[in-house]
Structure 1
Amino acid sequence: MLFASILLQMFILIGTLFVVQVVWHVPVFEQIAASWTTLLILFGYNLILGPLGEELGWSGFVLNELQKRFSPIKAALIVGVTWECWHASLWLMSGYMGMDLLLYIVCFMVSIIVVSIMITVFYNLNHNLVIPILIHQLFNYLLAIQLGDRLPILLVRSVLYLIVAVGLVLVNDKKCLYK
């Protein structure tokens, strides 16, 4: 499970780098932070800022409680929408306005909701909080180390995360996603 969750995140990172290079003509080496100091600081900062605390609440408590009343997929959607509202202040800090802000919000919403589905699938397969923390950490960290305009990066990532989440839902058995 650990390897699969890391592999899926790497697929999304490589896919994002490739699409941004092809569509927006930004070379891959200009898209990634190259300083080891920056990479380490961002890793620690992102781990402490979000996944360690949030996943204890979102996956360790809220998801478990919701799955007592709803199917896992419904619980994942509820957690995803709630998690999205939790992060709504980030929309205002994005610096985008008008249609760019609307697109940013939609991409952000899609990303968080489908990451919630990914987390639910993996959590229900192993009932270990390490995987949700890892998925959340890589989601934040791999976005943080990508340089450049956030909007095209988030647009591509949201589509790739959606593809991965749909794939996970389709290939996993019913006990993992439905009551």
Structure 2
Amino acid sequence: MIEYRNHKFNRQEIILHPGDYFCSQENIVISTILGSCISVALIDKMNGRGGMNHFLLPNLSINNPENILKNKSSRYGVFAMELLINELMKMGSNKKALIAKVFGGGSVLNFENQERNVGYMNIQFIIQFLANEKIPVAASDLGEYCGRKIIFFPDTGKVLVKKLQSRKKIDEIRKEELETSKRLVNIQKNREIVLF
């Protein structure tokens, strides 16, 4: 997570990377850049607060549920969503009052098999998760062959989306996602050594 002053919006800006989440009711912006990853902005309009996350994969391992329980990382959707919801509830939000805006799941990693497409798996996960939690989706921009820059205003719930479709930008996003995926695999293989 990076924080700096955004002069365009005259607000502090929090920039999220995979595994980050942030909640606030202050006059700030929360932003991130997505490829196949997902970001969910949860909004509590009644109290003028919200939060956003950025996760890389739905679960640690679909085939190994014991592994999921040992490695609760917010890079995985199931934990990223729980952390985001819990943080807003700690701030005084009622879960029943939350609405979601969902972004990402682009097809930037070029898997031929739809079942192995990370963006597709992330989209299927988040739609099902929000339905199970009874959190309504007020807006979404999902899928396609593009990246996205997301800017979220937690005090108002407003979200700006810029699609990143240039070949160069998509290649940069793909490279970053592949490097992050490799680091996660190394962490799983070698529990004593954490590469970052």
TM-score category of the 2 structures, normalised to the smaller one: under 0.3
Under a length normalisation based on structure 1, what TM-score does the superposition of the two structures give?
Answer: 0.28
Under a length normalisation based on structure 2, what TM-score does the superposition of the two structures give?
Answer: 0.26
Structure 1 or 2: more strand by fraction = 2
Q: Bigger relative contact order, structure 1 or 2, given CA contacts below 8 A and separation 6+?
A: 1
Structure 1 or 2: more helix by fraction = 1
